[in-house]
Amino acid sequence: MIDAHLRQYIDPPTDRLASWFVGRGISADQITLVGFFVGALTVPVLWLGWPLVALVLILINRSADGLDGAVARQVGPTDRGGFLDICLDFFFYSAVPFGFALMNPSQNALSACFLIFSFVGTGASFLAFATFAEKRGISTDIRGQKSLYYLGGLTEGFETILFLALICIFPEAFWWMAIVFGFMAWITAITRVIAGWQMFR
């Protein structure tokens, strides 16, 4: 919801760090892959019952997700990099609630299923909109230079990171936080469907 407004504060330090990586020949794809594999460790870590360790891994993953885009902008973005980035993002997002379901199946499994269900809704609506926006030559740079059309909503990157941080800090509250955030994500998905329905007449 506020990602576009945060860019003026996030982009300058991220771009400076990206320059350091570019100077050492580290590619955006390498950062994407390392960030994903670090983020994927949240599943076994949560299963073991270590949510604060999972929080550190999540923050590393999300930092890598911002950094790989900054590196790509400096050296030139590629379709392969954009494809890899968006795929691994959605894989990661669904991994975290799965980890919480493993941590406490009796309390968390149902709400984790609902949250993953909502992530499918936001992911499908996001990618479908981006596909047909590309087909019609519609673009935007309100959230920076991206490989795909980034349609906003109630739950964007900042809100999702905040949610992931809160459930790691307060793991006993996961079941109801997941339900609340899941409903927020469905609001995002529905508004995207309505926007696409109106725009792609």
- Per-residue pLDDT of 70-101, as tens digits, reads 999 899 888 899 899 999 999 999 999 999 99
User: Residue 143 has what pLDDT?
Assistant: 47
Dist. CA 24–CA 5, nearest whole Å: 31
Domain that holds residue 85: 3-199
* CATH code for position 53: 1.20.120.1760
Model pTM above 0.85: yes
Burial class (CB in 10 A: 0-12, 13-18, 19+), 62: buried
Domain count, the chain: 1
For the residues of 62-98, what is the DSSP string, one character each?
A: HHHHHHHHHHHHHH---HHHHHHHHHHHHHHHHHHHH
Residue 69: both structure tokens together: 């885009």
Of the candidates 158, 155, 176, 154, the one whose C-alpha atom is nearest the C-alpha of residue 167 is: 176
Tens digit of each residue's pLDDT (9 = 90 or more) over 126-141: 888 888 888 887 766 5
